[in-house]
Structure 1
Amino acid sequence: MAALLVGSAGGAASAAQIDVVPASDLQSVLNAANDDDVIRLAPGDYLGPIRIERKLTLIGRAGAAVIGQGQGSVITVAAPDVTVRGLTVRGSGRDLQAMDSGIFLMESAERAVVEGNAIVGNLYGVNVYGARGARVSANAIDGLRGLRLNEAGNGVRVWNAPGVVVDGNTIRYGRDGIFSITSTKDRFTNNRFEKLRFAVHYMYTDDSEVSGNVSVANHGGFAIMYSKRLIIRGNVSERDRDFGLLFNYANYASVDGNLVVGGPLSGISADFDVTDNEKGMVPKQEASGTADIGPGKCVFIYNSNKGRFRDNWFESCGIGVHLTAGSEGNEIAGNAFVANRNQVKYVGTRDLDWSKGGRGNYWSDNPAFDLNGDGIADTAYRPNDLVDRVLWTAPTAKLLINSPAVQVLRWAQSQFPALYPGGVVDTHPLISPPSKPSARRIEP
């Protein structure tokens, strides 16, 4: 074991700084260390896998790498208050059931800190397996490439770990950027996601926050499912294929200041088989000529209730908002719907007023006037009519869209609002768009 004890004072229990060179048996160094020791790795490769069972700090100088042997997790943390910083970590196994990871934080690894590492070529990047209060920040996490979805792991996986913070990471390749299940009071902030299925995927995670993240050209942006009382704020979805924001049985969510912008789909990753999407997770692209732009839906709200959607910007999608009939009591006001092919798709017949306190939304296709100059259009805005409902239920009817009969029907509805079948109405539409949320970038 070639390790140098740099400093210790006062006795065996005192903290020490231990410098380690690549010829060392790293696991033996870790086993011999005391609580609060700092283990510093010189540049070079160190043989993994390793297991940390004491409260210590493991730091890599530039060029230090812990290399697994293709079986199990590369670094397993089993003690509380451990820090892993500045390392390259690669070479995990590929056992999905065992969740082989670059860094595996066990339930006993409370308050672990994983920061500033390059975690590349592993099945899972960081697996927070019940480690309460852990922090995963400023890492570059690249998963395995060329896998089908049912073979891929996630960049960061959080299970039953309250108080976790995942902040400032760049995550690429694999299944989902961050996948959280059965947890609470977590914060996922300021991360960048590329070449993934979903940027963030929430399942049964309550009282948590997703804010300041950027999702670029993934299959889907932010998928929030079976969770409640969430804050979804200030995120960016750019050119994600299927949706920017998806809410499935997500209740009491506060969704504000998000930016969803479509564009050409040519940048979407083909690094795994896109036919392997889990059944029911991803809404299909609308069969309305939207294949050249993305997302298919800026927002998809499915059986989600009592949400508050404010000050968001939804632009250049196939559908601005797709709202299902099982979604009740949602407040949708102060948002901008800009240049979407269909601003709203709502298949229910109940009248829904998308305004609050005398303030509605901005609709780029609304030709109304504001004669009194109060910033509110003089007439209500209805995004859908009877023709839209026919097209949704019988798509082949699009062959008749330019026929005189259809045009007469639409004119009649515009003259006699009682002919409208019910649905979304904005009684106080904005005449000018609100401020556009910042499309800031988090550089890789």
Structure 2
Amino acid sequence: MRARQAAIVVALGLLLGALPAATHAQAKTIEVAVGDGLVEAVAAAMPGDVLHLAPGTHKGSVVIEKPLTIEGDSFETTAIEGTGQGSVIRILSSSVTVRGLHISGSGIDKTGIDAGIYVEKGADNPVIEHNWLDRNLFGITLHGPKAARVIGNTVTNRNDLWLNNRGNGIHAWNNIGSTIADNVVTGGRDGIFMQLGKDNVIAGNRFERLRFAVHYMYSKGGAVTDNVSIGDHIGYALMYSDNLKVSGNVSIKDRDQGLMLNSARKGRITDNYVYGSGGKCLFMYLALRNRVTGNRFEDCDIGVHVTGSDENAISDNAFIGNRVQMRYAGTKTYEWSVKGHGNYWSDNTAFDLDGDGIADTAYRPNNVVDWLVWRYPLSKLLLSSPAMELLRVAQGQFPALTPGGVVDSYPLMAPEVPPRVLPPLPEKLEWEVGSADPDS
């Protein structure tokens, strides 16, 4: 009797275990014509089905509560148009794929994070690829899923709203292990906003006409690599985040800052190129224990602005042709070299008599006159006065008068970081000619 009961239990287990496989085996591709009703097709589909949308415009908004693929042949031919309320596609299930679609027409409720595509927490492993997200408040919202893949999308968000009322191109909150790569984001507030994330990768994206290209907040691990920011307010704003790898990124003529490390800790900041910022190439504010090496900061108003940033290892960078190489006003002295290797400063006129590639004297980017001007701005009125000239002469004769700040004891005689080939740029960017946007 017991043997028979055991056999029944085993048989039931085998049957139940086979059910998912049977369900998957029944999955099919369903052709959805324009006018057939996309919402109804989604409701009628079985888990695992592929809904292939015919060219033309299909009506949203759509809620997906089962594993499905919704795709078109190309976003140039196949569209989903929202109702102007809420999100156009809302994903509540894991393992959903959306590809090859032109998605537009979300609502404009910031509290609801209205988006072209909204992925809810628990809807893990979504794949969003090769879509055009257009005229939405937020382009793509990842509200807590794990292992999302957002690849090769174009996001053109609304710029007809005030800046603070716009949504982000890709808005990610509480994500783990996601990959956001090879997307183009133009317009809106921030290109990619990452908050409370862990071990996410942002790679190979391009950003234009934004507030921040990449905005990291309260996140850990992960990488920001090989992205391009052109003409944004700030290129890469890395704030209150730890252990980030930031490498191979380019900032071209971003208005205020190319690269910001605001309370960022233990990061590896390598091989980035910042060119032509109207403000600062690099801004370090309370940045702690970062490794900053092999970067090129060129043709900015200020090469680097440092405030309260301790225990950073900074070497092998190139500061070239900046109007002011460094701005620092304080009493503490920081050494910017590592193991006998410093940085290249284009305004350093020192000699290298032994030919080892290291200048014979230390480089101090700031003098006592700089310190006075930054601490007491009205002293600019006295820059050409005999008193200021006397200070310069006195500091040259008595180095002990030098204020606190950065000292590079082993400055390089030549840059070791080559320039990048810049993409074609307009003669003047929006921020250079002015903007009608009151928040810009």
Aligned partners of 1:136 and 1:253: how far apart in 2? 24
Cα shift readout 1:359-396 (whole Å, capped 9, x = no counterpart): 00000000111111100011111100110011001222
More helix by share: 2
Q: SS at 2:216's partner residue?
A: strand
| Match for residue 100 of structure 2 among 60, 76, 86 | 86
Aligned to 2:133: 119
| Residue 44, structure 1, aligned to residue 27, structure 2 | no
Q: What are the ranges of 5 or more consecutive residues in structure 1 without an aligned counterpart?
A: 1-9, 263-293
Aligned to 1:179: 193
Give how far 1:11 is off.
Answer: 8.1
Give how far 1:94 is off.
Answer: 0.4
Aligned to 1:225: 239
**Contact 1:297 / 1:317 at 8 angstroms: preserved in 2?**
yes
**Contact 1:259 / 1:439 at 8 angstroms: preserved in 2?**
no
| Match for residue 43 of structure 2 among 17, 31, 34 | 31
Paired letter, 2:402: Y
Question: CA separation of 1:442/1:170 partners in 2, compared to 1, >3 Å: closer, same or farther?
Answer: farther
Paired letter, 2:230: V
| Residue 295, structure 1, aligned to residue 295, structure 2 | no
| Match for residue 214 of structure 1 among 211, 228, 232 | 228
- Summarize the alignment of residues 298-337 of structure 1 with structure 2, pairs less than 5 Å apart: 298-325=281-308, 327-337=309-319
Q: SS at 1:418's partner residue?
A: helix
Aligned to 2:410: 428
**Contact 2:203 / 2:226 at 8 angstroms: preserved in 1?**
yes
| Match for residue 241 of structure 1 among 244, 255, 279 | 255
Aligned partners of 2:423 and 2:152: how far apart in 1? 15
Cα shift readout 1:107-141 (whole Å, capped 9, x = no counterpart): 13201000000100000000001111001110000
**Contact 1:234 / 1:437 at 8 angstroms: preserved in 2?**
no
Q: SS at 2:415's partner residue?
A: coil
- Summarize the alignment of residues 94-133 of structure 1 with structure 2, pairs less than 5 Å apart: 94-133=108-147
Paired letter, 2:411: P
Cα shift readout 1:170-189 (whole Å, capped 9, x = no counterpart): 00111100011111111111
| Deviation beyond 6 Å, 4+ runs, structure 1 | none
| Residue 162, structure 1, aligned to residue 176, structure 2 | yes
| Residue 376, structure 1, aligned to residue 390, structure 2 | no
**Contact 1:257 / 1:437 at 8 angstroms: preserved in 2?**
no
Aligned to 2:90: 76
| Match for residue 394 of structure 1 among 369, 376, 381 | 376
Paired letter, 1:395: P
Aligned to 2:268: 254
Aligned partners of 2:264 and 2:170: how far apart in 1? 21
Aligned partners of 1:411 and 1:165: how far apart in 2? 56
Aligned partners of 2:152 and 2:424: how far apart in 1? 11
**Contact 1:22 / 1:44 at 8 angstroms: preserved in 2?**
yes
Task: State the Cα RMSD in Å.
Answer: 1.7
Which protein has the larger Cα radius of gyration, Structure 1 or Structure 2?
Answer: 2
Question: CA separation of 1:12/1:165 partners in 2, compared to 1, >3 Å: closer, same or farther?
Answer: closer
Aligned to 1:342: 324
Cα shift readout 1:134-173 (whole Å, capped 9, x = no counterpart): 0111000010122112211000011111011110000011
Cα shift readout 1:377-432 (whole Å, capped 9, x = no counterpart): 11111100110011001222222222333223212312321221222111000000
Question: CA separation of 1:162/1:342 partners in 2, compared to 1, >3 Å: closer, same or farther?
Answer: same
Aligned partners of 2:291 and 2:419: how far apart in 1? 17
| Residue 203, structure 1, aligned to residue 217, structure 2 | yes
Aligned partners of 1:133 and 1:316: how far apart in 2? 39
Paired letter, 2:65: E
Paired letter, 1:24: D
Aligned partners of 1:161 and 1:439: how far apart in 2? 34
Give how far 1:433 is off.
Answer: 0.5
Q: What are the ranges of 5 or more consecutive residues in structure 2 without an aligned counterpart?
A: 1-21, 426-440
Aligned partners of 1:136 and 1:386: how far apart in 2? 50
**Contact 2:330 / 2:403 at 8 angstroms: preserved in 1?**
no
Cα shift readout 1:32-52 (whole Å, capped 9, x = no counterpart): 212222111111000000111
Number of aligned pairs? 403
TM-score, length-scaled by structure 2: 0.89
Aligned partners of 1:320 and 1:299: how far apart in 2? 6
| Match for residue 205 of structure 2 among 187, 191, 204 | 191
* Matched-pair identity in %: 47
Aligned partners of 2:306 and 2:374: how far apart in 1? 13
Aligned partners of 2:199 and 2:236: how far apart in 1? 18
Give how far 1:14 is off.
Answer: 1.5
Give how far 1:237 is off.
Answer: 0.6
Give how far 1:439 is off.
Answer: 4.3
Aligned partners of 2:317 and 2:421: how far apart in 1? 16
Aligned partners of 1:14 and 1:441: how far apart in 2? 49
Aligned partners of 1:383 and 1:351: how far apart in 2? 12
Give how far 1:12 is off.
Answer: 8.7
Aligned partners of 1:422 and 1:13: how far apart in 2? 71
| Residue 419, structure 1, aligned to residue 401, structure 2 | yes
Aligned partners of 2:85 and 2:212: how far apart in 1? 27
**Contact 2:23 / 2:47 at 8 angstroms: preserved in 1?**
no
**Contact 2:60 / 2:82 at 8 angstroms: preserved in 1?**
yes
**Contact 1:236 / 1:439 at 8 angstroms: preserved in 2?**
no
**Contact 2:179 / 2:202 at 8 angstroms: preserved in 1?**
yes
